[in-house]
Amino acid sequence: MSLSNKTAIITGASRGIGKAIALELARQGANVAILYAGNAEAAEQVCIEARTHGVKAQSYACNVADFSQSKEVCDKILTDFGGIDILINNAGITKDSLLLRMDEDSFDQVIDVNLKGAFNFIKHTSRMLMKSSCGRIVNVSSVSGLMGNVGQANYSAAKSGLIGLTKTVAKELAGRNVTCNAIAPGFIETDMTANLPNAVHEYIDTSVPLKRMGKAEEVAALVAFLVSDAAAYITGEVIRVDGGMCM
């Protein structure tokens, strides 16, 4: 599943799942553009680790929800790397609250980053992906987008919308040999899940058949497969990485 000489953009790649994806793609030989929102030092550290695999890695600050800024960054990446073959839309935020207490700003921000951000990057990279011999898009959704989740009306709506976006893009770009798939992680060990209450861990023990949280590297391995030549006939799919929780 070598990705040698291919260039991948990974949004939200300074930590967690995004970082694991970036490092796995680099390990497979892909050059990586590391996008981050605020932590430049963490993003540069990911670049340093990626370069140990002999690939080119560069970091870019970007508010993925900003249409114009997203285009500027995509144009810069194209200039720096000479092409774009893979897009991983991983950037995401949470602003959890029960619907009755959720304010408009909390809803809008989550939709803008998690859903519109993916649209922005697909829009601005689609021509380059169509020029690639094997364009690949993977959108990081969530099991919350499949089953809903109390306190996450905004997040669930965004992640569900991402699935609809995935299927539409898969149909529109299939004729140009570009695949578009989504993954739906469940409980994954990241900074975002580090301080979950005991009740959630009890839920995992009773409701997740594998009785544990997943690892970011396990998500990254699936992404690496989906962007490889081995997955050239898979498009429009949503694949869960949830230990059987939504089975």
DSSP string, 219-247: HHHHHHHHTSGGGTT--S-EEEESTTTT-
* DSSP of 31-69: EEEEEESS-HHHHHHHHHHHHTTT--EEEEE--TT-HHH
Among the residue ranges 50-64, 130-144, 195-209, the one predicted with the least confidence is 195-209
Q: What is the pLDDT of residues 27-37, one digit of tens each?
A: 999 999 999 99
Instruction: Tell me what the pLDDT averaged over the chain comes to.
Output: 96
Q: What's the pLDDT score for residue 91?
A: 98
| 63 pLDDT more than 80 | yes
- ∠ CA 203-151-17, rounded to 5°: 70
Q: What's the pLDDT score for residue 6?
A: 97
Does the active-site annotation cover 155?
yes
Alpha carbon 183 to its chain's center: 8
Q: What's the pLDDT score for residue 126?
A: 98
d(CA 91, CA 86) in angstroms, rounded, equals 15
| 196 pLDDT more than 80 | no
Catalytic, out of 36, 155, 203, 233: 155
Q: What is the pLDDT of residues 165-184, one digit of tens each?
A: 999 999 999 999 999 999 99
List the alpha helices (DSSP H) in the chain: 16-27, 40-51, 67-81, 104-111, 117-131, 144-147, 153-173, 198-207, 216-226
| 76 pLDDT more than 80 | yes
The order of strands in the sheet holding 179-185 is 57-61, 31-36, 7-10, 86-89, 136-140, 179-185, 238-241
Backbone φ, ψ for residue 98 (5° rounding):
-60, 145
Q: What is the pLDDT of residues 216-231, one digit of tens each?
A: 999 999 999 999 999 9
> Quick check: 110 and 95 in contact, CB under 8 A?
yes
Task: Enumerate domains of the chain plus CATH numbers.
Answer: 7-238 (3.40.50.720)
Q: What's the pLDDT score for residue 107?
A: 98
